[in-house]
Structure 1
């Protein structure tokens, strides 16, 4: 039988996506990464078709004996590399992890203090996202414009006055660590809990480039598993507080997750092992690359945020391109050149400019995993200048981007493994 036209279309689009994003583009989206071939091999497994509601060895279905083992192993690995006393991998995203934590820490009508939007709080922390869906009042802590961060002194005063149920640090666009150690004693003094959303920086924490918030006073850490931590899309909850963790963990199923997408588990376990052995080198190179890219962009005339602070200590670089036409325009032009970034609100923006903000958010973690180092950050900055400042035809610059990318097609910071034994004719990966 000849393949149906619509099936041919699906296969073709998948091939085109894989070719474009894996071999022809410079991906600088700060919330993405790439798994190793080994992690992808175990991701494409029978686990993807199965259910395992509940916790390991306490399931509501039969047929889960290997799920129990792989989930327990992944939890042990996550506890080891973080480190943490407890972790739960059942949240299928960082947002779901936040929801499970917030639901336990406060009731509808209660107050939560969050990092100011200008300091990078994620939408799930706000009245427009998960916090609002749970009916919890969202109050922003003051913003320190000079340090591009939470204003510590004013935040302490607000914590003492408001007496919230919990405080949230961490976020989506933030260049510097949030003040966990400085705020934690004051949060606890009013009987509140401190939550750190490490979705973006978990790989930097595991790789010891950033401090572990749990060691600095955070009661709970939530995270994604697919940003600076280069695993499959998913989330987790970590805590050193046994009783609080048990209470939160009991809510994940059935309130927020039924089946937790089991094929994530072996892929996450593989990535945890990779980070155990290679994470320190990887995280260190990410931060070096981010700083170098920021410096190289600034040298070429871009208005890079945070010059007086050294630009960045994370995987992210923020650039103000308002004078060049705005974030929406420049992001689109760069995409035409196969340089993938996202437009983003900057501290100077108002919420009304969300469709065309001043900024670009740039992340170097995926290109770092493909082996790029400081010299390549300089090349990337030059290519971006040609498009955004020099006004060259993006289609012409695209040729240079593809040539650069051809040199970096192999995932690094992983193990060399013969994957032939992992192949499955019944579950092929379309390349």
Structure 2
């Protein structure tokens, strides 16, 4: 066994990944983001080695007094920016947050209404994901093709007939807000709860570029902390309903989480502070950039989804690339030129097209955090045209991508601090 060889391989792979994704690519994955240097420094702490099952000040382990402090502070800060009363940061992902809420609101065999898959419902909302694992029947609300959204009138009739235990809004391919206020009123009229999955748009919500579902009647707001909210990977549950929230909080542990990855907590708290200071500016620029990219792509002849609705109101842009070879081929071709997107089903695609869908999904939040603005979105659109439409040499386009990216290496909308005050022995990122 050659330990030294394996050690060098581990380090080399990590260095290569860091250099490639942090300095050479234009990352447009809609579900990713980057933490600030300070948040990353806090992430590398002793907390990552520790356990703290249970809630603050009610643990099953000793040695957690500082965990209790940081978790309490993080929840207070998250409630402040979310304008919510109750928060639980123990879910380690948005899907786990969904699972805990779904488990409390319904029993196996009960029914849940979800946003139509065509309107962006996440797999965790369906029989193929968390609902299916819990034995809860998922029924899709009708789809309004013209508005690319829930059909409110038909949903009303369905709700009265089915009388579900809960309704789920929010999405994965999520260009336009769902009608939260109207659906909340309908759900409550039949005794159902409304769960809003804001995994993708949570940063836009706290940045006031997207309406707050809790203010519009949602009973639960489930989020990811690493998409438009630029924190560490994780999840959270928010609510203003004390009794229901306590039931969910008691369910997260021990049903779905044991230890909840404590090193997330300082970084999450720090990111909440950054969003408190810069959130509105950051969220506003994200939406501007998404619109600029969509308009630029359309001007170059790309079939951008949702033209009649202004293309997007979120961080995302969806493009039908079937005429260019389909989502799989296009995503792989773009990756070869260091532009990172993902293939994605579009509203008109059948479920069986998941392996090679018509579309690609683009998100601008990470490049926005690196300081890119509308002008850079136009440059990105041009690069995509040169590669996919003009069929220019991949190496030539890749060289341009790296040149553009080299000008955007510093993370913006971030708090500054002397990192040596955290640890004089901190190992810098391997690049």
Structure 1 and Structure 2 fold alike (TM over 0.5)? yes
| Counterpart check, 1:352 vs 2:315 | no
Measured in 1, the distance between the counterparts of 2:393 and 2:256 equals: 47
Which 10-residue stretch deviates more, 130-139 or 412-421? 412-421
Measured in 2, the distance between the counterparts of 1:422 and 1:429 equals: 15
Q: Which residue of 2 aligns with 1:177?
A: 177
Measured in 1, the distance between the counterparts of 2:94 and 2:226 equals: 10
Measured in 2, the distance between the counterparts of 1:160 and 1:292 equals: 41
Q: Which residue of 1 aligns with 2:325?
A: 325
Secondary structure in structure 2 of the residue aligned to 1:4: helix
Q: Which residue of 2 aligns with 1:132?
A: 132
Tell me the alpha carbon deviations over residues 257-282 of structure 1, each in whole angstroms, 9 at most, x when there is no partner: 00000000000000000000000000
Q: Which residue of 1 aligns with 2:195?
A: 195
Q: Which residue of 2 aligns with 1:296?
A: 296
Measured in 2, the distance between the counterparts of 1:390 and 1:299 equals: 14
| Counterpart check, 1:249 vs 2:257 | no
- CA shift, 1:425, in A, is 3.2
Q: Which residue of 2 aligns with 1:29?
A: 29
Alignment of 1:51-90 (within 5 A): 51-90=51-90
Measured in 1, the distance between the counterparts of 2:416 and 2:236 equals: 28
Measured in 1, the distance between the counterparts of 2:424 and 2:430 equals: 12
Q: Which residue of 2 aligns with 1:385?
A: 385
Tell me the alpha carbon deviations over residues 354-398 of structure 1, each in whole angstroms, 9 at most, x when there is no partner: 111000000000000000000000000000111111111222100
- CA shift, 1:423, in A, is 3.2
Secondary structure in structure 2 of the residue aligned to 1:35: coil
- CA shift, 1:171, in A, is 1.2
Q: Which residue of 1 aligns with 2:106?
A: 106
Secondary structure in structure 1 of the residue aligned to 2:355: coil
The answer as to whether partners of 1:45 and 1:427 remain within 8 angstroms in 2 is: no
Q: Which residue of 2 aligns with 1:10?
A: 10
Measured in 2, the distance between the counterparts of 1:83 and 1:44 equals: 29
Measured in 1, the distance between the counterparts of 2:212 and 2:380 equals: 31
- CA shift, 1:416, in A, is 2.0
Q: Which residue of 2 aligns with 1:150?
A: 150
Q: Which residue of 2 aligns with 1:278?
A: 278
Q: Which residue of 2 aligns with 1:375?
A: 375
Q: Which residue of 2 aligns with 1:407?
A: 407
Measured in 1, the distance between the counterparts of 2:360 and 2:407 equals: 26
Measured in 1, the distance between the counterparts of 2:51 and 2:301 equals: 53
Secondary structure in structure 2 of the residue aligned to 1:354: helix
Q: Which residue of 2 aligns with 1:263?
A: 263
- CA shift, 1:424, in A, is 5.2
Measured in 1, the distance between the counterparts of 2:394 and 2:32 equals: 23
- CA shift, 1:422, in A, is 2.2
Which 10-residue stretch deviates more, 206-215 or 387-396? 387-396
Tell me the alpha carbon deviations over residues 212-241 of structure 1, each in whole angstroms, 9 at most, x when there is no partner: 100000000100000000000000000000
Measured in 1, the distance between the counterparts of 2:262 and 2:174 equals: 31
Measured in 2, the distance between the counterparts of 1:423 and 1:156 equals: 57
- Taking a change above 3 Å as real, the CA distance of residues 373 and 428 of structure 1, as seen in their structure-2 partners, is closer
Which 10-residue stretch deviates more, 403-412 or 151-160? 151-160
- CA shift, 1:428, in A, is 5.7
- CA shift, 1:301, in A, is 0.6
Q: TM-score, normalised by structure 2?
A: 0.99
Number of residue pairs the alignment of both structures matches: 430
Measured in 2, the distance between the counterparts of 1:291 and 1:278 equals: 20
Which 10-residue stretch deviates more, 180-189 or 292-301? 180-189
Q: Which residue of 2 aligns with 1:217?
A: 217
The answer as to whether partners of 1:44 and 1:427 remain within 8 angstroms in 2 is: no
Measured in 2, the distance between the counterparts of 1:100 and 1:156 equals: 26
Measured in 2, the distance between the counterparts of 1:400 and 1:68 equals: 48
